[in-house]
Amino acid sequence: MSHTFTHALVTGGAGFIGSNLVKCLLNKGMSVTVIDNLSMGAKSSVDTRARFIEGDIRNEEDVRTALEGVDCVFHLAACVTIRASFDKFYDDADTNIMGTMMLLKCVDSANVRQFTFASSMAIYADSPTTAPVAESYTIDPQSPYGVGKLASEIIGKQILGQKGIPLSVVRYFNTYGPGQTLTPYVGVITIFINKLLKGEQPVIFGDGEQQRDFTHVDDIVSGTMATLAGPPGTYNLGTGKASSVNDIASMLIAHINPDITPLYAAEQVGELKISIADILKAQNNLNYSPSHDIASDIKSVIEHIKTR
């Protein structure tokens, strides 16, 4: 890690991935400022060593306060739900696009020397096979959420390019791990575990043969942090390995309650059928090396949810 960076801003730093990133940056000896409106995250998730601002990335005063003394930015704050982005498309775009615009407006190249933006696999077109997709794969977002992430990537490149601030875009694939907030929309593993622990049937949308690249939050965080030392660019962060939703359900049922069978419901609009990351570019440029495997990690995630 480059030691030229001393103070990071993490937007959305009270969220699942953000709070883990904050901890790792602090453990590297950096100062960290967090801005979060706590719409999804919890203040209790934020490491007490960080400077915490309860504020909104759409509010110029909040953003300027958050940027004080900062030399690198990790922009994770977002509405992160594909399905709900149809019903709440205005709020989704307001936060994900206009929030990003406010950050780009306020960031100053005299201070900030690195900007890392958390994007998503939701910007890609559906894949016909489980062959991993590279960063050059067809861009065709299937949801308002994906459109917002793509818009932020493009405008981010233009504005930061003009300002002379290096940009790294990290496209996250399905992230799982201990500490994920339970919502009806995000984190199929967390949703399934909570259902099964209550003795309820997990609900699978469609035939369950959707193929996903489930990536542990620790690997996502290490890849995100690596952008401080690696060359600017656009990087997929995943594992390169496919698991179907049926596979995940079977694995969790076997661990928690073998007597339960899943329920099947109608396919959901806007969700990709197959999306697996080609991570060669991140491996080559960021020394990214995912070390977690879902089959061996699932027990610790179950235990963590049980204790909560």
- Active site residue ranges: 145
Neighbours of 222 (CB within 10 A): 21
Asked if 190 and 305 touch (Cβ cutoff 8 Å), the reply is yes
Asked if 118 and 234 touch (Cβ cutoff 8 Å), the reply is no
* CA separation, residue 217 to residues 31, 57, 168, 237, 282 (Å): 21, 23, 19, 10, 16
* CA separation, residue 259 to residues 251, 254, 298, 302 (Å): 13, 9, 19, 17
Q: How far apart are CA 137 and CA 114, in angstroms?
A: 25
* CA separation, residue 225 to residues 30, 35, 59, 130, 159 (Å): 12, 18, 26, 28, 22
Q: Phi and psi at residue 138, in whole multiples of 5°?
A: -50, 130
Residue count (the chain): 308
Q: What is the DSSP letter of 226?
A: G
Report the DSSP beta bridge partners of residue 272. Answer: none
Strands annotated E in the chain: 7-11, 31-36, 51-54, 72-75, 115-120, 167-172, 175-176, 203-205, 211-212, 215-216, 233-237, 243-244, 263-265, 274-275
